[in-house]
Amino acid sequence: MYMTSQEFNHNLAKAKRESLIDPVIITDRGEPKHVLMSFERFERVLEKQQKEKKSALDVFMNLQHADVADIDLEIPPRSATSFCVSSRCSRHA
């Protein structure tokens, strides 16, 4: 189930109820930002992570949940010029 941040703030009880069934994905400006799930499910994820020696992200990506399993995250590679924090940066010259 997906909820916007605004829906989540106004319907916390509903989000908590739904999270007992399946994880609730909370979006901010249309992008998934947070996941609310039952503590029992969270413990199962941690157990699986520890047993399989995988990262939490790997475990979550392998969950058999239609809402989460079908999300393709496309993260573009960072370029060396994407931001500048140094006074020696060519943009400060």
54-86: pLDDT as tens digits: 676 776 666 655 455 555 556 667 665 555 555
CATH topology of domain 2-74: YefM-like fold (3.40.1620)
- Write down the domain spans for the chain: 2-74
pLDDT at position 45 is 85
Per-residue CA distances from 51 to 43, 54, 59, 85 (Å): 12, 8, 11, 40
pLDDT at position 93 is 47
CA dist 89 and 93 (Å) reads: 7
20-41: pLDDT as tens digits: 999 999 999 999 999 999 999 9
